[in-house]
Amino acid sequence: MNPEQKAAIGIDEALTLLSKGKCGQAIEILEDLDDQSKNPVWIKTLASAYACKASIDVILFVDSDIDAIDENLLFESLSILTYSDETAVDSSGYVGLRDALDILGRTDFTQTTRNADFGQRHGEDMGVQTLVYAIIELGKYINWYGNVDAVGKKGAGTNSNSCYLNYTYGPAIAIVSGLPPSNACNSTNDGHPDLNGAQKITRVCEGLTLMTNIIDILETIDLSSSSTLSSLEDLVVKLETYRVVANAVGVGYLLDVTSPTACETLLANATDMNNAELLFALILEQDHE
């Protein structure tokens, strides 16, 4: 039996196990195969197995949640989707889905390079899978670090913070200080402790690159013919407003960073970390009340 045949059999076995909810066994079979990093079917199946391990039912999510995303209340609506509720930092569901995104190439690929490396059909399949997982993960991120209540209001949940970050950079402080009374963030030093501790750069980059991957995919793949995903195209105009605002103050380059690893390297520089603070203030604080 040649390696291609062995891989095909292993993937079929894994798919059968996934249909029975046996996520761990599917992962074990797939990861025991010889290097399959250039095999898009293996990549998509292994990512699905990790999403399964994270207890994510993608079909349920697409059917029940996609249309609930409101571009006019983007962060509020994302934070209260089916899988958004979080009660601990780095929960098993959050970490499992992050692993699925890493497998799909979040650390290495833009949608253009996915298409180039795997062909348009497989590349776009991987892109759509990445898009759905990133939306779910961003909902979790906003829910936890935004400290939301049942309707997605920032700062009204069971944690103590009213903002995402503690702000030390002058232009970011100016944005936060000028927020209207309706915005829960009314202090420059009331960010979520889990987002402002020793792992600040890593966790800021997680949130930033979830947004940038969503933007990259929506700007690249035409979803208009999809009966279930076409409504996501309505988000493009909203997301483009973020780019305009970011470009106006010189931080738009951060919206082109799709790799968490590259982001962490970038934000190790104090100037770029300051710019990330400003971007969070402009987008997450200003647009999420």
Q: What is the pLDDT of residues 124-135, one digit of tens each?
A: 999 999 999 999
Give the tokens for residue 97.
């889905």
Cβ count near 139 (within 10 Å): 27
Q: pLDDT band for 82, please (50, 70, 90 cuts).
A: very high
Q: Determine the 3-state secondary structure of 146 from DSSP.
A: coil
**Cβ(101)–Cβ(133) under 8 Å?**
yes
Q: 37 vs 17, 103, 104, 129, 130, CA distance in Å?
A: 21, 9, 10, 17, 16
pLDDT over 80 (residue 72): yes
Which candidate, 7, 2, 17, places its Cα nearest to that of 41? 7
Q: 268 vs 72, 90, 237, 281, 283, CA distance in Å?
A: 33, 22, 31, 19, 21
Q: Which tens digit of pLDDT belongs to each residue from 140-199?
A: 999 999 999 999 999 999 999 999 999 999 999 999 999 999 999 989 999 999 999 999
pLDDT over 80 (residue 1): no
Q: What is the pLDDT of residue 3?
A: 79
pLDDT over 90 (residue 243): yes
Average pLDDT, the chain: 96
pLDDT over 90 (residue 4): no
Residue 114 identity: R
Q: pLDDT band for 2, please (50, 70, 90 cuts).
A: confident
Residue 116 identity: A
pLDDT over 80 (residue 242): yes
Percent of the chain having pLDDT more than 70?
A: 100
Instruction: Tell me which of 2-11, 23-32, 48-57, 264-273 is least confident.
Output: 2-11
Q: Which tens digit of pLDDT belongs to each residue from 98-157?
A: 999 999 987 788 999 999 999 999 999 999 999 999 999 999 999 999 999 999 999 999
